[in-house]
């Protein structure tokens, strides 16, 4: 009985981690973060940041493909192997796919969206056309986009995880990302 419970929990863990592997591992590579400051420093607004948001969005949806692998392995295990391991794989991966697809009918949106990239581009354009100070330097801080020179808030959009190598280490950083699913942990007062 205990062995079956352990196999079920192991299957659930593998099924939970698999769809998140692109965001957890691929984005943390050194070459992928060449244009960005170290975590948790603010990031200057640039085309590289807009591109990063689009990459993170792609990796989020790529998680559906990564979830299909444990679903197939879980089905195989249910039919010909350990039913408890297979059920854990199948259940957890299936739930991950359902939670990603439910965005189309309502509920929690992904941490990285096309609209977010457009908003950052608008802030970049406005800082050049209608500058807030003599030397505008828009940067994305934890809770909002602010000018580094005059500290004026340009957009009250909290920053999600952007795939940089985390300062709290791989294991603790991964746990934080898994807990928040990449969403910002903090936000401006009054932003719900």
- Per-residue pLDDT of 23-35, as tens digits, reads 888 888 777 777 8
Inter-residue long-range contacts of 84-87, CB under 8 Å, 24+ positions, other chains counted: 84/4, 84/5, 84/7, 84/8, 84/11, 85/7, 85/8, 85/10, 85/11, 86/11, 87/8, 87/11
On whether residue 21 sits in a domain, the answer given is: yes
Chain-centre distance of CA 16, in angstroms?
14
| Total-model pTM | 0.83
Residue with tokens 């994305």: 140
Percent of the chain clearing pLDDT 90 (strictly above): 39
pLDDT at 58: 92
Would residue 151 count as lying in a domain? Answer: no
Q: Could you tell me the residue range of the domain that residue 16 belongs to?
A: 2-35+60-107+164-180
pLDDT at 13: 93
Query: Is residue 159 situated within a structural domain?
Result: no
pLDDT digits (tens, 9 = 90+) for 129-172: 888 888 889 999 989 999 988 888 888 999 998 888 888 888 88
Flag whether 14 is in a domain: yes
pLDDT band at 187 (very low <50, low <70, confident <90, very high): low
Please check whether residue 124 lies inside any domain of the structure. Answer: no
């Amino acid at each position: 009985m205990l062995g079956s419970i352990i196999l079920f929990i192991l299957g659930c863990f593998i099924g939970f981690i698999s769809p998140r592997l692109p965001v957890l591992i691929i984005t943390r590579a050194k070459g992928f973060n060449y244009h960005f400051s170290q975590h948790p420093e603010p990031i200057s607004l640039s085309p590289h940041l807009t591109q990063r948001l689009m990459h993170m969005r792609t990796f989020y949806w790529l998680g559906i493909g990564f979830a299909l692998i444990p679903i197939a392995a879980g089905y195989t295990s249910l039919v010909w192997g350990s039913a408890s391991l297979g059920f854990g794989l199948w259940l957890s991966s299936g739930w991950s796919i359902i939670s990603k697809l439910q965005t189309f009918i309502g509920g929690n949106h992904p941490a990285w969206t096309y609209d977010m990239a457009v908003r950052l581009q608008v802030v970049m354009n406005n800082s050049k056309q209608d500058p807030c100070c003599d030397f505008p330097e828009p940067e994305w801080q934890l809770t909002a986009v602010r000018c580094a020179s005059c500290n004026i808030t340009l957009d009250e959009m909290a920053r999600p995880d952007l795939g940089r190598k985390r300062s709290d280490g791989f294991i603790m950083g991964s746990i934080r990302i898994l807990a928040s699913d990449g969403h910002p942990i903090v936000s401006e007062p009054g932003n719900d």
